[in-house]
Structure 1
């Protein structure tokens, strides 16, 4: 039986690319996304590789939906791998213009939800003898410069520290918690924005990171990464690996 991976936000964008990469590597995949149509389309592609795939609509900010994600993964014999990929900015406006309800939802999406789902998979992973959790953060969580969405940056910074704080789970429970911190990813929206930039703006910016490079790092972490490892990815540069001493 294939090992089973959960990918949140797996219907499109980077999540879809990660789900495809895991399927290529032989994993069954639970594709969870708030867009059910996108989740089903992705799962259909995965099934073409001959690996089990399940799609479900899930808002990771809702505890009942997180429970359903876990139930589907257990029905496939897992989970063995969790990729906390779902995330996003606050809609319409950012902190401090956003209301407390609006910006708190962004922190919930980008930090609290990964923490809760990681906690939910611990017991099933222990029962399987261990597992791997990969959190997808963002370069927004690194640095000291101004940033357009403070709540998003704070949540991603928290996700990075959360990951490093759980490095000891590898020794105590056989569960490796790791994190990838990419800068600007070369997905369709970023590519369109890049084309709109002036030559001077592009020259002052780091190049886009090909999604395949991020997928390759995620797969390496899943297969052989050390618990507590955080990998920074910047366009045009090799990955910067922060591993526990």
Structure 2
């Protein structure tokens, strides 16, 4: 049985991804900074809960070690991300916008680095980075630091496009637009009719999970797949 790590698995897209992987036959380590949320996900899927602040180097190392103890890791999904509400760059202080870079770019890079050697020992694995359309668009965006981090995550993925250089592991990236999670539905409902008409169609979480599983099964190293919503 494959051992799969999903970061940010306590809620939102991470929980959907964890459920999808478990239904596909993997033993999922549901990693989240909120242990209660991680435990809830793990109980739902028969997986393992792990409290992890992915921006902590020691916590990241402990997470990979936990997967090694279970015979993996075979799969890593770098899903944890986001930004702190409030001021964004350039109004935000250095510590705030730098923290967004840590969470959305440096942490996935570090977890990838830590996972490559144990993945090579099990014959090569699959790493999926969850980026965002904020990183590939050329229009103004509310959080420049988040957009820059996600853009970096996309390019980081493509630089690792030759599995032969990294022990046989395929590193791929999923770039979704606005996902139809609970928060997105609430934001959409709070918009004026004109704003709602201009908003991008929401992507069903099931479509994101299906795309993620497709890449993990058959994607090639360096693949970047963009997902957009479809009108009803």
Q: 1:170 to 1:180 in 2, by over 3 A?
A: farther
Distance 1:232 1:168 in 2: 20
CA shift for structure 1 position 68 = 1.2
The equivalent of 1:23 in structure 2 is 22
Matches within 5 A, 1:83-122: 83-122=77-116
Please give the TM-score of this superposition, normalised by the length of structure 1.
Answer: 0.92
Secondary structure of 1:32's aligned partner: strand
Q: Which is further off, 225-234 or 168-177?
A: 168-177
The equivalent of 1:155 in structure 2 is 149
Tell me, yes or no, if structure 1 residue 166 matches structure 2 residue 160: yes
The equivalent of 2:128 in structure 1 is 134
Contact map agreement 1:170 1:227 (CA 8 A) in 2 = no
Contact map agreement 1:166 1:177 (CA 8 A) in 2 = yes
Distance 1:160 1:233 in 2: 14
The equivalent of 2:2 in structure 1 is 3
Q: 1:87 to 1:172 in 2, by over 3 A?
A: closer
The equivalent of 1:13 in structure 2 is 12
Q: Which runs of 4+ in 1 moved over 3 A?
A: none
Please give the TM-score of this superposition, normalised by the length of structure 2.
Answer: 0.97
Distance 1:211 1:171 in 2: 33
Contact map agreement 2:120 2:168 (CA 8 A) in 1 = yes
1:176-213, CA deviations, whole angstroms, 9 ceiling, x for partnerless residues? 00000011110001001111223322221221000000
1:37-92, CA deviations, whole angstroms, 9 ceiling, x for partnerless residues? 00000000011xxxxx1111110000111011111111111000000000011342
The equivalent of 1:231 in structure 2 is 225
Aligned partner (choices 183, 188, 193) of residue 182 of structure 2: 188
Structure 1: where are the runs of 5+ without partners?
48-52, 238-245
Distance 1:56 1:130 in 2: 23
Tell me, yes or no, if structure 1 residue 125 matches structure 2 residue 125: no
User: Aligned pair count?
Assistant: 231
Distance 1:139 1:172 in 2: 27
Q: CA RMSD in A?
A: 1.2
Secondary structure of 1:10's aligned partner: coil
Distance 1:234 1:39 in 2: 28
Distance 1:187 1:16 in 2: 11
1:9-31, CA deviations, whole angstroms, 9 ceiling, x for partnerless residues? 01100000000000000000111
Aligned partner (choices 61, 71, 75) of residue 55 of structure 2: 61
Q: Which is further off, 162-171 or 226-235?
A: 162-171
Structure 2: where are the runs of 5+ without partners?
none
